[in-house]
Structure 1
């Protein structure tokens, strides 16, 4: 459905009825990751303290490797990557990776973020949870109403790391030829 303010009965399919259009539901996939090395992070330490926490950029790089299914064990037999988990690190017995692919309205993303914040309402061993949103590489708009320079880079994403104490990190990325986020 097309969400148009003040017009709740407007449907994208009725707008384009002379074309063959159909609505697609987002695809959801989940995976359980076992014995996952992960960097130790603390909400108050964005820049990282070598004894206590890795910094936010190292964490984001690690998260991208995990999401892309890149092994982070730095073994010589792993010819795709010699990336290793930033220090200090620990091992997570079990982690859940959920991927939603499709066009999601900002309201749905806000709802997902709210649900992640409520994850800690019950006592948990986990210290943080994360939500990453990628824009389409060929999207005509990056942030706000700025034209997206995808021919020159294509970066267009943001990531929330929500901590047990309800602090959070927000990391945003745009290409060098894009407008800056608000």
Structure 2
């Protein structure tokens, strides 16, 4: 057994990037486009008496998703499934109830890649080529296998396709519970078609809906957000407010020792909305667009914010960046939009950091 003094495990570092800029009238920001697995969205609206219907509907309308029980991975390379849902529209699929640091897990991103994050023992029996985990390449305990389901050559009868299907069917017999949402390419197509496909294959399918919370708070001291403010303290305030909606003190610190940002301004009424479940990037884009339109038309509002939290156990966080819960688990971002047309974002990269071990 190693002596405890030999190894020094450093606490994980929090890593955030902050960006400022001008709100663009069209197109979703890249921060939304590259974050695929969104678990919760919260919105803060200072100086707002009634929540605009456009914002509330963007959070709750047409946000159903589905849970497929005991799904076998080889179904995801079925050619009919790929042609109908992977190559058309945008499919987002994620294994749930799996721990990224110790279990096998998988995901499909809208670009059409099937990502398998596997323990060493599972990978060694699978028979497909992958790469060692980014977090431990010297003595890897995990491997990542990425399959491009949209490649033209990935089709039945081709050698590579048949090998992949055979390896998944014969060597990866672990059933996964997954959540799935499909954004069809045309409005006339129903998003529930993907659930019907799995149901017709004999799988148990459950309809899931987002959990919605709405709080109104009165006489709240909110931070002044301008070019010279302490952005870190403003984002910290948002995090505290989301937990403690009764945060109203304008003193430097409250009884818990929390230090308030300065300066503050009194807001007569603040609305807080939160939805938790499974959101695709298209869903998030619609929420962002509704908030952007609101702040543009409401000059009396000092600012508004949107915070998005990712799944702590997804195989990836941003784009193809591998995700690790041990270092932090946080893969989130926050927008603050101002009526002068400017924005501030904070993006968490904590889960992409390697753990630091010193001898």
User: TM-score when scaled to structure 1?
Assistant: 0.80
- Where does residue 91 of structure 1 map in the other structure? 266
Structure 2: which 5+ runs fail to align? 1-64, 67-84, 90-183, 355-359
Structure in which a larger fraction of residues adopt helix: 2
Matched position secondary structure for 2:266: strand
CA–CA separation in structure 2 for the residues paired with 1:67 and 1:97: 8
- Where does residue 335 of structure 2 map in the other structure? 160
- Where does residue 51 of structure 1 map in the other structure? none
- Where does residue 204 of structure 2 map in the other structure? 20
Residue by residue over 1:96-139, the C-alpha shift from the partner in whole angstroms, topping out at 9 and shown as x without a partner, is 00001110110111111111111034344112111100001122
CA–CA separation in structure 1 for the residues paired with 2:268 and 2:198: 50
Alignment of 1:29 onto 2:111: no
Matched position secondary structure for 1:57: helix
- Where does residue 322 of structure 2 map in the other structure? 147
CA 1:177/1:108 → structure 2, altered by over 3 Å: closer, same or farther? closer
CA–CA separation in structure 2 for the residues paired with 1:65 and 1:123: 25
Alignment of 1:117 onto 2:292: yes
Bigger mean CA offset, 67-76 vs 151-160: 67-76
Structure 1: which 5+ runs fail to align? 49-53
Matched position secondary structure for 1:159: strand
CA–CA separation in structure 2 for the residues paired with 1:87 and 1:115: 29
Alignment of 1:105 onto 2:289: no
Q: Return the match for 1:6 from 83, 88, 94.
A: 88
* Structure 1 residue 178, shift from structure 2 partner: 4.4
CA–CA separation in structure 2 for the residues paired with 1:67 and 1:143: 24
Q: Return the match for 1:63 from 234, 238, 260.
A: 238
CA 1:38/1:103 → structure 2, altered by over 3 Å: closer, same or farther? same
What RMSD, in angstroms, separates the aligned Cα atoms of the two structures?
2.3
Tell me if structure 2 keeps the 8 A contact 1:146–1:178. no
Aligned residues: 166
CA–CA separation in structure 1 for the residues paired with 2:261 and 2:216: 21
Alignment of 1:40 onto 2:215: no
Question: Larger RCO: Structure 1 or Structure 2 (Cα < 8 Å, ≥ 6 residues apart)?
Answer: 2
Matched position secondary structure for 1:172: strand
Matched position secondary structure for 2:206: coil
